[in-house]
Amino acid sequence: MTLALSLLDAGIDDVDIYESASAVKELGVGINVLPHAVRELTELGLLEALYRIGIPTAEVVFYSKHGQRIWGEPRGLAAGYRWPQISIHCGELLGVLYRAVVARLGSTRVHTGHHLVGFGQQGSGPVWGEFVDRATGMSFGRVEADLLVACEGIHSLVRHTLYPDEGPPSGTASRCGVRSRLVSRSSPAARPAHERHDTVPAGPLRGRKGSDA
């Protein structure tokens, strides 16, 4: 979604997004959007929308398993950056991006239920991507374009095809909790070996209860 918005911002408006999931749903946990990323989203005119659903993080704090504060340091504006660090619910961030894409590009350019199963290029001609609907098994055939940009996450088919020897992800476990902005503007974390536990203040609750994921 962010790439599509950036391309539009650069004057490239013939853009289509193909997403494996059958719908864009606001799912996920609390995350921290760091200042360099907030800078990009600010350039795309989204800072106000982020402030409406997230909070500017003031500090990161580490605790022992007994709850003793070990260490903390300022983050974002409090650390002197020109852009804030924003703690936000990941699904709500996606919602902001999706609504901006729909408003600027149009909903018909977002093709949900399209799972990439192959890609290639014939000579110096256009690239192609082949898509199926994973829910029904229906094939959409090939789509041609001047450029294919793979943004399909950690299990990327394109990356694995182009870089088959990279090996699996690290295997480090990550546990996250979400809590209300009413608690504080700090972002506590505990980190035993090979495991990480972050608790991120993710904005107003709006009926959502704090949860682990």
Ligand X SMILES: Cc1cc2nc3c(=O)[nH]c(=O)nc-3n(C[C@H](O)[C@H](O)[C@H](O)COP(=O)(O)OP(=O)(O)OC[C@H]3O[C@@H](n4cnc5c(N)ncnc54)[C@H](O)[C@@H]3O)c2cc1C
Write down the least CB distance from residue 134 to ligand X, Å: 9
Which residue, 176, 161, 172, 117, is CA-closest to 143?
Answer: 117
Residue nearest to ligand X (CB): 153
Place of tokens 């360099």: 36
- Binding status of residue 110 toward ligand X by CB under 6 A: no
CA quadruple 59, 60, 62, 66: dihedral sign = positive
- Binding status of residue 12 toward ligand X by CB under 6 A: no
CA quadruple 21, 29, 154, 174: dihedral sign = negative
Closer residue to ligand X (CB): 49 or 98: 98
Closer residue to ligand X (CB): 20 or 184: 20
Using the rule CB under 6 A, give the single segment among 69-77, 119-127, 137-145, 151-159 that binds ligand X. Answer: 151-159
Write down the least CB distance from residue 11 to ligand X, Å: 23
The single residue among 17, 101, 116, 143 that binds ligand X, judged by CB under 6 A, is 116
Structure tokens at 90: 């990941």
Write down the least CB distance from residue 68 to ligand X, Å: 23
Structure tokens at 24: 């864009």
Query: What are phi and psi for residue 41, nearest 5 degrees?
Result: -70, -30
- Binding status of residue 176 toward ligand X by CB under 6 A: yes
- Binding status of residue 179 toward ligand X by CB under 6 A: no
Q: Phi/psi zone of residue 106: left (φ > 0), alpha (ψ -120 to 50 degrees), beta? A: left
Closer residue to ligand X (CB): 66 or 112: 112
Q: Footprint of ligand X on residues 17-56 (CB under 6 A)?
A: 18-21, 29, 31-32, 34
Structure tokens at 100: 């901006």
The single residue among 79, 157, 190, 205 that binds ligand X, judged by CB under 6 A, is 157
Could you tell me if 200 and 178 are in contact, meaning their C-beta atoms sit under 8 angstroms apart?
Answer: yes
Beta bridge partners of 81: none
Task: Give residue 97's Cα distance to chain centre.
Answer: 10
- Binding status of residue 101 toward ligand X by CB under 6 A: no
Residues in the site for ligand X, rule: CB under 6 A? 18-21, 29, 31-32, 34, 115-116, 151-153, 157, 174, 176
